[in-house]
């Protein structure tokens, strides 16, 4: 066995910040030259229009702009409480341009209410954020003030605590990596994150949480978490400077264990070097526990290394387009006698894609073991908006070779379910 401290010193860094599950399967974020963040109605109208245009053109599931404005307004009023209740209005029956104008007028009315501390921009961005949360589990809007901090922290050297944070059911959940500072401090997998340094995480973005949890080596960050049985606890975690490859290996007498932590660009090179030690006919165990996924292309190529050309890996379904069936297209590189894949509730996205593909493959002879996986089977695209802020939109659905999606349901471990990974195969 490998000691957990040794593991961590070898692999527990991800760009000095959190591993973000819901940012997986994004296309690279498109950027535009952002204009100064004005607070006048014309600037805010332009920002809102940019968001609604992108959603209606690119989202996997879309709806008329008038409904978008109605949902955004309702979400904002819910946040503001009774003081804004009289401003709630159904705009869904109006034509889009009229609904947009009325939406802006209502925001201006709220902004001018005596005692209202939020500016027109802040109200608009909170409304957009509220809409995105209603749209689906992965679409989100990063407010311009948060994005500034994210970009600033991205330019500085910081340290991490070694923890994935995943967003699900309108909450954030912690998945510490084995041997990490977060695990050593007492953070448990599946605990709900309530606050960071005393500041509630509700209404924030994953990108923002990544930025605020980072910090100078040796400093502490205070994480308030809620246990699965309901009790809340504040845990202080010391940040560390961490370095990591994407995989870790362990060789045993008759088997070989490959631990995959994220589908990064470096993974394929590291995995091939490690798997070269696996002799044909031996058993390979791939540990995906706590793996939140990563780059879609990397996950596809990784799965293909164990499959024959022509075997299906996944189908990508997008709105208004024919299904795209992606199959292995290169000669099979590795031929173990069998592949056992370990999974848990922190196994998500790209890791789930690989598990489903190898279980379905007749040549890979894959099997999975553990507990039900996380359940993220969608793709996203991101864009830095001209008017400030960042929009991340769900653009497609992933369908396993078994003909079902694992999104929201997760994958069952096949060894404990007579070969099934879906409730109804």
Among candidate residues 319, 391, 381, the one with its CA nearest the CA of residue 48: 391
Q: What is the pLDDT of residue 2?
A: 29
3-state secondary structure the chain: CCCHHHHHHHHCCCCCCCEEHHHCCECCCEECCCCCCCCCHHHHHHHHHHHHHHHHHHCCCCCCHHHHHHHHHHHHHHHHCHHHHHHCCCCCCCCHHHHHHHHHHHHHHHHCCCCCCCCHHHHHHHHHHHHHHHHCCCCEEECHHHHHHHHHHHCCCCEECCEEEEEECCEEEEEECCCCHHHHHCCCCCEEEEEECCEECCCCCHHHHHHHHCECCCCEEEEEEECCCCCEEEEEEECECCCCCCEEEEECCCEEEEEECCECCCHHHHHHHHHCCCCCCCEEEEECCCCCCECHHHHHHHHHCCCCCCCEEEEEEECCCCCEEEECCCCCCCCCCEEEEEECCCCCCHHHHHHHHHHHCCCCCEEEEECCCCCCCEEEEEEECCCCCEEEEEEEEEECCCCCCCCCCCCCCHHHCCCCCCCCC
Q: In this model, does residue 116 exceed pLDDT 50? A: yes
Q: What is the pLDDT of residue 391?
A: 95
Mean pLDDT on 401-422: 96
What's the mean pLDDT when you consider all of the chain? 86
Q: What is the pLDDT of residue 102?
A: 97
Determine the Cα–Cα distance for residues 61 and 54; give it in Å rounded to an integer.
12
104-108, 254-258, 399-403: least confident range:
254-258
216-225, 245-254, 262-271: least confident range:
245-254
Q: In this model, does residue 12 exceed pLDDT 50? A: no
Question: pLDDT tier at 377 (50, 70, 90 boundaries)?
Answer: very high
Q: What is the pLDDT of residue 423?
A: 87
pLDDT digits (tens, 9 = 90+) for 176-213: 877 789 989 999 988 999 999 999 998 888 888 888 89
The fraction of the chain above a pLDDT of 70, given in percent, is 86
79-88, 92-101, 147-156: least confident range:
147-156
Neighbour tally for 93: CB within 10 Å: 10
Q: What is the pLDDT of residue 154?
A: 66
Q: In this model, does residue 400 exceed pLDDT 50? A: yes
Q: What is the pLDDT of residue 115?
A: 87
Do 101 and 89 meet the contact criterion of CB atoms below 8 Å apart?
A: no
Q: In this model, does residue 30 exceed pLDDT 80? A: no
How would you list the strands of the sheet with 338-343, edge to edge? 247-251, 255-260, 283-287, 338-343, 366-370
pLDDT digits (tens, 9 = 90+) for 326-368: 999 999 999 998 899 999 988 999 999 999 999 999 999 899 9
Q: In this model, does residue 251 exceed pLDDT 90? A: no
Q: What is the pLDDT of residue 108?
A: 96
Q: In this model, does residue 5 exceed pLDDT 80? A: no
CA atoms 267, 272, 278, 283: torsion sign? positive
Which two three-digit tokens encode residue 281? 């006919």
Mean pLDDT on 22-26: 41
Question: pLDDT tier at 253 (50, 70, 90 boundaries)?
Answer: low
Q: What is the pLDDT of residue 278?
A: 84
- pTM of the predicted model over 0.85: no
Mean pLDDT on 138-151: 88
Q: In this model, does residue 25 exceed pLDDT 60? A: no
Question: pLDDT tier at 23 (50, 70, 90 boundaries)?
Answer: very low
Which two three-digit tokens encode residue 215? 């910090």
Q: Identify the residue with better confidence: 58 or 148.
A: 58
Question: pLDDT tier at 32 (50, 70, 90 boundaries)?
Answer: low
Mean pLDDT on 92-100: 97
Domains in the chain with CATH codes? 19-24+147-238 (2.30.42.10), 32-139 (no CATH), 245-416 (3.90.226.10)
Q: What is the pLDDT of residue 216?
A: 84
Q: Identify the residue with better confidence: 304 or 9.
A: 304
């Amino acid at each position: 066995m490998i000691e957990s401290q040794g593991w961590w010193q070898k692999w527990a860094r991800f760009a000095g910040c959190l591993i973000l599950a819901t940012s997986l399967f994004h296309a690279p974020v498109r950027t535009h030259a952002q204009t100064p963040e004005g607070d006048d109605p014309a600037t805010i109208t332009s920002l809102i229009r940019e968001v609604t245009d992108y959603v209606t053109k690119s989202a996997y599931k879309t709806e008329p702009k008038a409904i978008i404005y109605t949902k955004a307004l309702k979400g904002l009023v819910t946040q503001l409480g009774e003081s804004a209740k009289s401003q709630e209005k159904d705009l869904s029956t109006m034509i889009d341009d009229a609904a947009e104008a009325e939406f802006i007028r209502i925001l201006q009315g709220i902004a001018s209410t005596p005692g209202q501390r939020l500016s027109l921009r802040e109200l608009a961005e909170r409304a957009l954020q509220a809409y995105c949360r209603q749209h689906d589990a992965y679409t989100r809007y990063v407010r311009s003030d948060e994005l500034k901090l994210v970009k600033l922290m991205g330019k500085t050297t910081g340290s991490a605590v070694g923890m994935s944070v995943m967003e699900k059911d309108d909450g954030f959940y912690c998945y510490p990596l084995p041997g990490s500072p977060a695990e050593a401090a007492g953070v448990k997998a599946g605990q709900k994150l309530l606050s960071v340094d005393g500041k509630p995480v509700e209404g924030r973005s994953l990108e923002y949480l990544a930025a605020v949890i980072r910090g100078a080596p040796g400093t502490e960050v205070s994480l308030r978490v809620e246990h699965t049985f309901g009790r809340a606890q504040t845990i202080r975690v010391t940040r560390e400077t961490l370095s990591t490859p994407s995989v870790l290996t362990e060789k045993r007498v008759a088997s070989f264990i490959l631990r995959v932590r994220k589908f990064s660009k470096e993974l394929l090179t590291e995995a091939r070097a490690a798997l070269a030690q696996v002799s044909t006919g031996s058993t390979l165990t791939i540990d995906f526990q706590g793996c939140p996924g990563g780059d879609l292309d990397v996950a596809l190529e990784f799965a293909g290394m164990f499959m024959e050309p022509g075997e299906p890996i996944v189908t990508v379904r997008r709105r208004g387009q024919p299904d795209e069936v992606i199959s292995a297209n290169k000669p099979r590189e590795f031929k173990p006698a069998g592949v056992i894949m370990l999974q848990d509730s922190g196994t998500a996205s790209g890791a789930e894609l690989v598990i489903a593909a190898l279980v379905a493959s007749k040549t890979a002879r894959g099997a999975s073991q553990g507990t039900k996986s996380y359940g993220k089977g969608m793709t996203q695209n991101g864009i830095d908006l001209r008017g400030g802020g960042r929009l991340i939109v769900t653009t497609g659905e992933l369908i396993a070779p078994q003909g079902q999606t694992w999104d929201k349901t997760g994958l069952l471990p096949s060894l404990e379910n007579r070969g099934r990974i879906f409730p109804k195969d």
